[in-house]
A and B are shown apart, each in its own frame.
Chain A
Amino acid sequence: MIGLASVWLLIANGRIAGVSGILHGLFAQPVGSAPEGRAGDRLWRASFIGGLIVAGFAWHAFAGPAPVRQGFGLGWVALAGLLVGFGTRMSGGCTSGHGVCGLGRLSVRSLVAVAIFMAAGMAATFVVRHLLGLPS
């Protein structure tokens, strides 16, 4: 379904389903584009993100509420969010943009990015869970 949704966005809207890029494009507009073009650009991005969020509510209505993690500090959550936001803009993609879509385009940049963020993710999880012993 994730793959099909990505193919859909490409064939219909001509866009790569890279969630970090879609989200940050809402806040960072290319300089010099016409105001009406900018509004349209924001609107398709907001529509995709709206679909993502509505999917969650629909899923909970169908499958019941998701269990919410207890005991993991919000300070760690905030640090994680900052790193994800900054890092995805620096590298130009996340799990969907580099992972699902970039690998589908046989992009060498994406292959390198995926290898690095997988390795870094495993290392960080090891530190947080096993060295620091946090209930992440």
Chain B
Amino acid sequence: MIAHASAFGAGLLFGVGLWISGMATPRKVLDFLDIAGGWDPSLALVMAGAVTVTLTLFGRVLKRPSPFYAEQFALSLKQQVDAPLILGAALFGIGWGIGGYCPGPALTALSNLSAEAFVFVGAMIAGGLAHRVAFD
């Protein structure tokens, strides 16, 4: 129970961070990606700030024998740069550059109750399921 409450709290903090930073506003995200237009580089600082925190603290966290509310850390052990990584990142980037939403911002933007947020999230889930049908 406490583990689920903890996950909820982490999601809540993550979501508020997305709104404060402007990541949850697709037009702001596209202004950041639009280097040929009126480029708005402010989201690079958001990314740099978040990475500075994880870079500083992840190493220390992972020195612990286990997390608080789970038996072990669940981490990807993949190290190889392969074709699915490259192609998948390219497809994701194209979708991000068209719509201005990546997964976290799209989910928290459901709170706008806008048609585009629901269409995007529905399509995103369908895209993930299509990948599973095609490759798993």
Q: In chain B, residues 43-92, which have Cβ atoms closer than 8 Å to a Cβ of chain A?
A: 46-47, 49-55, 57-58, 61-62, 64, 66-76, 78-81, 84-92
Proximity bits, A96-136, B CB within 8 Å = 1, else 0: 10111101111111001110111111111111111000001
User: Which of A55, A63, A121, A127 sits near B11, CB closer than 8 Å?
Assistant: A55
User: Which of B14, B37, B54, B86 sits near A55, CB closer than 8 Å?
Assistant: B14
Q: In chain B, residues 103-125, which have Cβ atoms closer than 8 Å to a Cβ of chain A?
A: 103-104, 106-112, 114-116, 119-125
Q: Is the CB of A56 within 8 A of B49?
A: no
Q: Is the CB of B93 within 8 A of A119?
A: yes
Q: Is the CB of B53 within 8 A of A28?
A: no
Q: Using known A-B contacts A52-B107, A56-B108, determine if residue A80 contacts B93 with beta carbons closer than 8 Å.
A: no
Q: Is the CB of B10 within 8 A of A5?
A: yes
In the bound complex, residues from chain A placing their C-beta under 8 Å from that of B14 are: 1-2, 5-6, 9, 17, 19, 48, 51-52, 55, 96
Q: Is the CB of B27 within 8 A of A56?
A: no
Kindly name the residue among A3, A59, A74 whose own CB sees the greatest number of chain B CB atoms within 10 A. Answer: A3
User: Which of A58, A63, A65, A84 sits near B101, CB closer than 8 Å?
Assistant: A84
Interface of A with B (CB < 8 Å)? 1-17, 19-20, 23-24, 27-28, 43-45, 47-60, 63, 65-69, 72, 74, 76-92, 94-96, 98-101, 103-109, 112-114, 116-130, 136
